[in-house]
Structure 1
Amino acid sequence: MEQQDRYIRFDWAIKRLLRQKANFGVLEGLLTVLLGEEVKIIELLESESNQQTIDDKFNRVDIKAKNSKGEIIIVEIQNTRELYYLERILYGVAKAITEHISLGERYYEVKKIYSISILYFDIGKGDDYLYHGQNNFTGVHTGDRLEVTTKEKDALVHKLPAEVFPEYFLIRVNEFNKVAVTPLEEWIEYLKTGCIRPDTTAPGLEEARKKLIYYNMSTEERHAYDEHLNAIMIQNDVLDGAKLEGRIEGRMEGLEEGLEEGLRKGRIEIARNLKSMGMDIAAIQKATGLLPEEIQRL
């Protein structure tokens, strides 16, 4: 008999369970340890990416929330490789900004955006498991940071660009290979392994131990969850094979061409599997990037 303390993967929890106000504390805990300040979620915001079914959104899971400061937080989980991921998260941030300012409103109403990407694929070179980027304007000759002065409510207010421009966090889950000591490390350990230590005091994880137990789900929910895990395993296995094939072809015909061909074959194989599972053409196109006519021929 399996142990009772089997926990639901975070990508599934964020899609199904953490959208409930009673469970906001779990997500608030992750954001608190990541941003280094207490975060309170006021409400979840809807967008075209907040889909509920596997057909609508196969590869990634998004949540868009507003915190107590009125700032917007986007959390996105990506299970498999996407060639233009950086461009897509930039687009997602830009879209969030424009979604939350109405025509005719002052630029003062532009919301600060935090973009948090939890990645289960190799996005590139780098030794760390957490990367953070934000906009700063630094003097080319002096090295000082620009501070902008604005007038708000008849008072002069000094702002750093980082207080206005978006911030990006890339969590490379698979690169975490250490004993978890800090609350942030405990969170990354959970994201990677699904394990939560019994004596955890990390914000959000103690609540997750109570609310994300696998056996608390109904039989139907457990079945859907298990199918979700199987689909991810299929994708990863196929892509791993594609990478190997690409490396082999690369040695024979040129590395770049071989990798590209290997990845394409991998996408075709994924599309074939998803089609056999009954997924519609539009959803398969989102997951693989193939053209509809290519998918129909499979």
Structure 2
Amino acid sequence: MQPTDRYIRFDWAIKRLLRQKANFGVLEGFLTVLLEEEVKIVELLESESNQLTADDKFNRVDIKAKNSKGEIIIVEVQNTRELYYLERILYGAAKAITEHISLGERYYEVKKIYSISILYFDIGKGNDYLYHGQNTFVGVHTGDQLEISTKEKGAIVHKLPAEIFPEYFLIRVNEFNKSAVTPLEEWIEYLKTGCIRSDTKAPGLEEARKKLIYYNMSQAEQRAYDEHLSAIMIQNDVLDGAKLEGRMEGREEGREEKQIEIARNFKKMGLSVEIIIKGTGLSAEEIEKL
């Protein structure tokens, strides 16, 4: 009997399976848990990054959804490090804003954007697995938050800039190292490990247990999925190797610089070239150039 407790990783599922309307409930459940309000997917984002070939790109913006207030949510999955990632999500949010207001429309029609990034790489320093950022304007001297006067439904109301400007969520999947208790933690656990509890009640995960079973895929799909995982592992190994080599090269360069500094001081002290060679390991030619 085939085991049925192996689930497809989210980064693969969001590209292949969750783009089918019948499976939208999985991702909608995740977004509902994260944002603590009901979210519905309204369309798929088609771009050059949504390729389904052997040369599949790892980095992509895939799905667009809306919350109960009609605000736009864009979801991105990222497997590999990108030096200008923050600049890219800023561009993505700005693009979503401009795409949803027609020429000649009032600025009142601008939609608020939520940018959600699911990151399977180390973006930098930080101890948490979930970061949330939004725009605030704080008094330099008073410390109070600025409220903006704006017209809404025929009346003048006050709003905080954070109610209008984009919000960003960065989910650092690999930094999650705790027992899942809340629905959100159960989701993060699945994002990291691919494991889903048999008794889960978290929105979206119950549906995922039925629809994201590895052994429900055809043999061709299983092969493609396994190749995807292998490619990610190789990619991570290459990156880790490059980091290690960089550290080793850095240490080696540091040692060499130190030896040169010592040799320079020896020369100032009037020691012979032979003694300096023995003391530093540098060649006579290198010492003569100092």
Amino acid in structure 2 at the alignment position of 1:52:
Q
1:157 aligns with 2:157: yes
1:242 matched to 2:254: no
The answer to whether the 8 A contact 1:49-1:62 is kept is: no
State the partner residue of 2:3: 3
Query: 188-197 or 14-23, which moves further after superposition?
Result: 14-23
Separation in structure 2 between the aligned mates of residue 94 and residue 56 of structure 1, nearest angstrom: 28
Please show how residues 124-203 of structure 1 align to structure 2 within 5 Å. Answer: 124-203=124-203
Q: How far is the alpha carbon of 1:254 from its aligned partner?
A: 5.3
Q: Tell whether the 8 Å contact from 1:119 to 1:173 is kept in structure 2 after alignment.
A: yes
Find out whether 1:59 has 2:68 as its counterpart: no
149-158 vs 206-215, which moves further: 149-158
| AA matched with 2:115 | S
Q: In structure 1, list runs of 5 or more residues that go unmatched.
A: 256-298
Question: Aligned partner of 2:45: which letter?
Answer: E
Alignment CA distance shift 1:101-1:188 (3 Å): same
Is contact 2:117-2:171 (8 Å) kept? Answer: yes
Matches of 1:44 and 1:22, distance apart in 2? 13
Corresponding residue number in structure 2 for 1:44? 43
Number of aligned residues: 254
Measured in 1, the distance between the counterparts of 2:110 and 2:96 equals 10
Q: Structure 1 pair 187/221, CA: closer, same or farther in 2 (3 Å)? A: same
Amino acid at match of 2:26: V
1:221-260 pair list within 5 angstroms? 221-253=221-253
What is the aligned-residue RMSD (CA, Å)?
1.9
Q: Kindly indicate whether residue 12 of structure 2 is the aligned counterpart of residue 17 of structure 1.
A: no
Secondary structure, counterpart of 1:40 in structure 2:
strand
Q: Kindly tell me: are residues 49 and 33 of structure 1, through their superposed partners in 2, closer, same or farther at Cα, counting changes over 3 Å?
A: farther
Aligned position for 2:273? none
**Cα separation, partners in 2 of 1:2 and 1:82, compared to 1, 3 Å:** farther
Distance 1:64 1:106 in 2: 26
Moved more, 56-65 or 103-112: 56-65
Name the residue aligned to 2:79. 79
Q: CA deviation at 1:57?
A: 5.0
Q: Distance in 1 between matches of 2:27 and 2:133?
A: 21
Preserved contact between residue 44 and residue 63 of structure 1 (Cα < 8 Å): no
Instruction: Give the Å deviation of 1:36.
Output: 2.2
Greater alpha carbon shift after TM alignment, 163-172 vs 220-229: 220-229
Change (3 A) 1:101 1:189: same
User: In structure 1, how many angstroms separate the alpha carbons of the residues matched to 2:101 and 2:254?
Assistant: 48
Partner Cα distance (2:219, 2:54) in 1:
21
**Structure 2 Cα separation of the partners of residues 215 and 61 of structure 1:** 26
Quote how far apart the aligned CAs of 1:49 are: 5.2
Structure 2 contact 2–215 (Cα < 8 Å) conserved:
no
On the 8 A contact 2:39/2:65 being kept in 1, the answer is: no
C-alpha spacing 1:100/1:64, structure 2 compared with 1 (3 Å): farther
Asked whether the equivalents of residues 51 and 57 of structure 2 are also in contact (C-alpha less than 8 Å), the reply is no
| TM-score for the superposition, normalised by structure 2 | 0.82
Deviations 1:39-96 (A, max 9, x none): 233x114342551324675121322313143221111111111111111111111111
Q: Deviations over 1:146-192 (max 9, x none)?
A: 22121233222332211111111111111111111111111111001
* Identical columns (%): 81
